[in-house]
Amino acid sequence: MCGRTACTLAPDEVSRACSYRDRGGRRRQPRWKDGDADKYQPSYNKSPQSMGPVLLSQRHFDKNAPVDECVLTTMRWGLVPAWFKGNDPSEMHYSTSNCRSENILEKKSYKDPLMNGQRCVILADGFYEWRKQEKGKQPFFIYFLQTAGKKEGQDDPTTSALNNENSETACPPEEASCDLIEEGEAQGEWTGWRLLTMAGVFDCWTPPAGGEPLYTYSVITVNASPNLQSIHDRMPAVLEGEDEVRRWLDFGEVKSLDAIKLLQSKNILTFHPVSSFVSNSRNNSPECLQPVDLNSKKEPKTTASTKMMKSWLTTAPSKRKETDTRESQEEGKSKAKTRKSAGPLQQWLQRPNKKPKTK
């Protein structure tokens, strides 16, 4: 845990969804590190060893960058320590996709990056978790509560709202947009899907024989919050709001031992059951996210949170990239098989879309 995520936004959408206010009060839109937007592949079913979007301080690449400037990069999931002497990361005989917050200062693989300020934020629509039951395991998709009408600077929904989904307000599809201006500034806040922001550490490994440096990360985990304990006993360390994200990334002002205090179990996530289709990591289509009724296996009555997810994916204007040829072929077969009964989550890939901006 956490062993599978989804991140379906196109590169330009990820940038817009990560907009933040700098110290001058201006809303900024983080740019992608040179070439990294092309390395990122949107996916409904992302597993360890895959490449994913990560937010971090620009000062890791430019010591003269403003202290509050952020940058987006694409990193491989599964930390490879800088001191690893092997010629191939696959030669590592232990898993580093997750690191427990309780042990982060005890293991060299994680302690060194943490104490060097190599903190990052892993971005995702949400993550999957499997609940053990009498027969097999039931997967769930877990994500931030999606609400509309949230103003700048307003706190996130209270914990009580998580237990009453009927009180949520779905974001109208026509509002799921954000006007942009040049130089990385945005006129308004992103009103599309709210990305999950998970605390992590990263490292940079260079092959002993030389070659391109490999940036990798590990997701930090904590004890599960009360509303997730019935599914699993662990969860990612979630950073709530711009201030927590800023403090986690600001390795100059916020020292490591203070940053660790942000790694708390928080009762701020919601979830819904999904099909065991997602259990096969090769399956990569909207069916992975489709809510199911645990009794009938049919699509259940739509709640505000699931309505937000469906309407957002249905109306998203950007064309999502395919992960590879084989997955694309499998996805095509899946679509053909379910086209007659396909819901909004399956249909959104079939509609005409604009090519995403990647600058």
Kindly list the catalytic residues: 2, 129
Sign (positive or negative) of CA dihedral 39, 46, 31, 182:
positive
Residue 25 CA to chain centroid, in angstroms? Answer: 26
CA dihedral 38, 219, 79, 66 (to 10 degrees): 60
Question: Tokens in use for 141?
Answer: 């998709």
Sign (positive or negative) of CA dihedral 69, 119, 92, 46:
negative
Alpha-carbon separation of residue 127 from 7, 47, 90, 139 (angstroms): 9, 10, 24, 10
Residue 273's nearest CA partner among 298, 251, 248, 255 is 298
CA dist., res. 279 & res. 194, Å (int): 24
With a CB cutoff of 8 Å and minimum separation 6, the contacts of 33 are: 61, 71, 72, 73, 74
* 85: phi then psi, degrees, rounded to nearest 5: -95, -5
Alpha-carbon separation of residue 288 from 82, 125, 139, 280, 343 (angstroms): 35, 12, 10, 10, 12
CA dist., res. 185 & res. 309, Å (int): 26
